Amino acid sequence: MEKIDEAKVNDLVNMIDNKMDSGISRLGVAFSDKQEEGIVKESHYHGKKDSWNPGVWGECHGER
């Protein structure tokens, strides 16, 4: 079993707390063996547009 580095866990918890305090309401965290250790990469997802709902695409709902 791999030893857990408590400092790294605390850094992760602090990062999550800071994101939540700044107004982020949802946060996904992923770990990768493909990144160099210590590298943090952020990506932003602005929600899903439902293809069945014409309102999210700016189309009217039949009223003109």
Which residue in the block uniquely carries the two structure tokens 């899903």? 48
In tens, the pLDDT along 15-61 reads 889 988 998 877 878 888 887 887 888 877 666 655 565 555 555 54
Rounded CA separation 49/52 (Å): 9
Alpha carbon 23 to its chain's center: 12
Residue 16: count other Cβ atoms within 10 Å of its Cβ.
13
Q: Give this prediction's pTM.
A: 0.54
Could you tell me the pLDDT band of residue 64, with boundaries at 50, 70 and 90?
Answer: very low
Confidence (pLDDT) at 45: 67
